[in-house]
Structure 1
Amino acid sequence: MAAQCVVREGIRWRIGDGKQIGIWWDKWIPEGPDYKVKTQMDGLNWDARVESLIDEETRTWKSSLLQRHFQPKDCKRIIHIPLSRHPFEDTRVWGPEKQRGYSVKSAYYLWGEMRL
C-alpha cells in the first residue's frame, strides 16, 4: 500500500490537448513541490480543464486569460510549459525524475520526503 501512495504522489500530467486535466485539482505544473496551481479558484469553474487556457488555433497559452485569473507566479509557471503544435492526448509522467523517468531510487527518495 505504501508503494501505491508513493507512485500516486509522484505522478503528474504532461499537457497534450489539456482535455483530461483539471486546472484546480490535478498535478500538471512541472515546477514546484506538488505540481499544482497555487492560485485560489477565481472566475473559472471548479471543473475547468487546462484546454480552456490554450488557444486551439495558435497552440499557445491564452496569456490575457492567465493574467486575469492566476497569480503572477502561477501565470509565469504556466506560460513556460511548452505546448506541441500537434496536440496529443494528455499523458501521465513521473514527476520527480525530470530526465530519465521513473526509478526505484527516485521513488525511495520521494517516500523519504513524504515521511518527514
Structure 2
Amino acid sequence: MQMPLIDGGPGFRDLELSNRALLAKQCWRLLKNPNSLAGRILKGCYYKDCNFLEAKKMVNASFVWNSLIWGKGLLEAGLRWSVGDGKSINIYKDKWVPRPSTFRILSPPKLNDQLISSSGGWNTNFIKQNFSDEDVNSILQIPIGCGSRGDNIIWHYNENGQYSVKSGYWLGHKLATTANTSNSSALNTWWNSLWRVKICMKVKIFVWKACQDWIPTKINIDGRGIKTNGICETCNTSYETTLHALWECSKLRKTRDEWYNNNAMTSLS
C-alpha cells in the first residue's frame, strides 16, 4: 500500500517513514540551534562531551532521546559540509563533496595539505596531482568564497541547504527503494502510464488490483483460508484464477466476443 504509483502501488504515505522524517526535523533544529532550551537540556543529559552528530543511543535513555537518535540516522544520510575556509573539514573523513550518497572523496589519502590556497580559492595544481579525475571534477565544481566565511553543515537535498520533512521523506524512501530494487524501467513506465490515463479512478484501481492478483477469485479466497472447490462457476471446467476470471474463461470469452461483434455492427450501420 505504501509503494508509489510508479512502482505499482496506490501511493499512500509510509507513516513510519513520515514519523522518522519529522524526528529528523527536530534533530536539524538541535544541530542548528544548540543553545536552545531543548538543546541545552539534552546536551546536559546525553552528550556532554561531544556534539549532537556524535551522540549515540543509550540503553537507559528516555524514549524521546532514542527516538531522536533514530531520526538522526535519516538526517545524517543527507548532511554534508559546505566549504567556506576549509578549517573545520577533514578532507578524507568528512562528507563535503556534493556527490551522493557518500559525499566523500574516492582517492586514497596521500597528503594532508590544505586544498584551499592562500588567496581563498581552490589549490588546483595540488588537487589535480593528488586526486582522481572524478574527485577533481567534483571538488572544482564546488563554489568557494575568499575565505570570508566558515564551513557550514547543510542539507544536500534542498537548494537552500535547509532540511525539510518533504525532502527527508523522499530520501528515506529512495534509500529503502535502492536497497530493495527489483522493478525494471519498462515496468515503471507501464505503471506510470496507467495512473496517468484519463479513465475513471475505480477502473484504474480495478486494473491495479488485478495486476497485483488481489481480485477475490476462488483461488485467492482459498489462499486466505476460506475453503472453496476452486472451480469457476461460469464454465465449471477450470480453476478460477485472476487470469481465468478476466480472460481465459471460455463462456466469458464467448460473451465478450458477441458483445464486441454487436457493437461493431451497430457502429457500422
**What is the TM-score when the length of structure 2 is the normalising length?**
0.38
Counterpart in the other structure of 2:79? 11
**CA distance in structure 1 between the aligned counterparts of 2:158 and 2:106, rounded to whole angstroms:** 22
How far apart are residue 96 of structure 1 and its match?
A: 1.4
**Aligned pairs, number:** 109
Given the superposition, is the C-alpha separation of residues 100 and 54 from structure 1 closer, same or farther in structure 2, using an over 3 Å criterion?
Answer: closer
Given the superposition, is the C-alpha separation of residues 22 and 100 from structure 1 closer, same or farther in structure 2, using an over 3 Å criterion?
Answer: closer
Instruction: Tell me which amino acid in the other structure corresponds to 2:116.
Output: I
Counterpart in the other structure of 2:156? 95
Residue 132 of structure 2 corresponds to residue 64 of structure 1: no
Given the superposition, is the C-alpha separation of residues 100 and 26 from structure 1 closer, same or farther in structure 2, using an over 3 Å criterion?
Answer: closer
Unaligned runs of 5+ in 2: 1-68, 180-269
Match of residue 29, structure 1, among 88, 92, 97: 97
Counterpart in the other structure of 1:54? 116
How far apart are residue 26 of structure 1 and its match?
A: 0.7
Match of residue 77, structure 1, among 138, 141, 155: 138
Is the CA contact 2:77–2:101 (under 8 Å) kept in the aligned structure 1? no
Instruction: Deviation per CA, 1:10-55: give whole Å up to 9, x if none.
Output: 11101111011111111101233221111122x214xx6xxx0001
**CA distance in structure 2 between the aligned counterparts of 1:15 and 1:91, rounded to whole angstroms:** 7
SS at match of 2:98: coil
How far apart are residue 100 of structure 1 and its match?
A: 6.2
Counterpart in the other structure of 1:39? 107
Structure number with higher relative contact order (C-alpha < 8 Å, ≥ 6 residues apart): 1
Given the superposition, is the C-alpha separation of residues 25 and 84 from structure 1 closer, same or farther in structure 2, using an over 3 Å criterion?
Answer: same
Counterpart in the other structure of 2:173? 112
Is the CA contact 2:154–2:161 (under 8 Å) kept in the aligned structure 1? no
**CA distance in structure 2 between the aligned counterparts of 1:63 and 1:86, rounded to whole angstroms:** 16
SS at match of 2:88: coil
Counterpart in the other structure of 2:224? none
**Which moved further from structure 2: 84-93 or 15-24?**
84-93
How far apart are residue 108 of structure 1 and its match?
A: 0.9
Higher strand share: 1
Q: What is the root-mean-square deviation of aligned Cα atoms in Å?
A: 1.7
Q: Identity, % of aligned pairs? A: 29
Instruction: Tell me which amino acid in the other structure corresponds to 1:44.
Output: L
Unaligned runs of 5+ in 1: none
Is the CA contact 2:74–2:172 (under 8 Å) kept in the aligned structure 1? yes
**What is the TM-score when the length of structure 1 is the normalising length?**
0.83
